[in-house]
């Protein structure tokens, strides 16, 4: 019988690493003369068990690595899903932000407490979106970039460089470096080649 656990041939396990302890457990107790004196079938049996143990340890290490990779992949997928869901919600909120901008640009909205209230709500709304990671796309004066701008109109002019954004009709936004909505812009076409 083994020591204290009631099992005769239980392997010595290192519970911290979930792997068997280094060689030298029960086999080290038997002197080499005893192993040599044992019958040849017993020696080959020990060798078979060692090979099987090594194969099982290798399989265990591979399974632990696969499990760790799966855990990391699942965490990454969950994060991407959360960002995708948040982007969808933010995309649905952007028209409200557009309405605030149009209200602030409307004629007759230049004075009074009403305008102050609208500006306050607009700034709070922008601050909340920025805390979530939403950033407006800078357009006016920039070179047209089809990855973040949508050209609504090309304007012939000699006042600006070719392909420079002249006016922003609707602001574009990014969420954590992911395009939520391109900016709708008017772009210069310089005819003085």
The answer to whether position 143 is within a domain reads: yes
The answer to whether position 6 is within a domain reads: no
Could you tell me the pTM of the whole model? 0.57
The answer to whether position 101 is within a domain reads: no
Q: Write the CATH number for 164.
A: 2.30.22.10
The answer to whether position 57 is within a domain reads: no
Q: Does residue 75 have a pLDDT over 80?
A: yes
| Domain span holding position 186 | 137-171+182-193
Q: Using one digit for the tens of pLDDT, what is the confidence trace for 11-58?
A: 444 444 455 544 544 444 455 555 555 566 678 999 999 999 999 999
At residue 8, the pLDDT reads: 45
For 48, half-sphere exposure in the C-beta direction (CA atoms, 13 angstrom radius) is: 6
The answer to whether position 189 is within a domain reads: yes
For residues 83 and 175, give the distance between their C-alpha atoms in angstroms, rounded to a whole number.
Answer: 9
Residue 32 burial (C-beta neighbours within 10 Å; 0-12, 13-18, 19+) = exposed
For residues 104 and 93, give the distance between their C-alpha atoms in angstroms, rounded to a whole number.
Answer: 18
Interior angle at CA 176, CA 68 and CA 165, nearest 5: 150
Q: Using one digit for the tens of pLDDT, what is the confidence trace for 120-178?
A: 899 999 999 999 899 999 999 999 999 999 999 999 988 889 999 999 999 999 998 88
Q: Does residue 4 have a pLDDT over 60?
A: no
**Domain count of the fold of the chain:** 1
The answer to whether position 158 is within a domain reads: yes
Q: Using one digit for the tens of pLDDT, what is the confidence trace for 106-121?
A: 776 566 777 888 888 9
The answer to whether position 155 is within a domain reads: yes
Average pLDDT over residues 1-7: 46
For residues 160 and 154, give the distance between their C-alpha atoms in angstroms, rounded to a whole number.
Answer: 12
Q: Does residue 59 have a pLDDT over 50?
A: yes
The answer to whether position 36 is within a domain reads: no
At residue 40, the pLDDT reads: 63
Average pLDDT over residues 90-97: 90
């Amino acid at each position: 019988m083994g020591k204290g656990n009631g099992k005769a041939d239980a392997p010595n396990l290192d519970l911290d690493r979930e792997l068997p302890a280094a060689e030298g457990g029960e086999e080290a107790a038997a002197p080499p003369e005893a192993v040599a004196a044992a019958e040849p079938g017993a020696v080959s049996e020990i060798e078979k068990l060692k090979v099987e143990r090594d194969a099982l340890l290798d399989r265990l290490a591979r399974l632990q690595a696969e499990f760790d990779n799966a855990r990391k992949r699942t965490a990454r997928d969950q994060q991407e899903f959360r960002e995708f869901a948040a982007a969808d919600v933010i995309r649905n909120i952007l028209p409200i932000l557009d309405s605030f901008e149009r209200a602030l640009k409307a004629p007759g909205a230049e004075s009074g407490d009403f305008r102050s209230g609208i500006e306050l709500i607009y700034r709070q709304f922008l601050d909340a979106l920025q805390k979530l990671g939403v950033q407006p796309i800078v357009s006016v004066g920039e070179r047209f970039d089809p990855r973040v701008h949508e050209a609504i109109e090309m304007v012939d002019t000699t006042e600006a460089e070719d392909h420079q954004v002249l006016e922003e009709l609707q602001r574009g936004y990014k969420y954590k470096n992911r395009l939520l909505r391109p900016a709708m812009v008017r772009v210069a076409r310089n005819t003085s080649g």
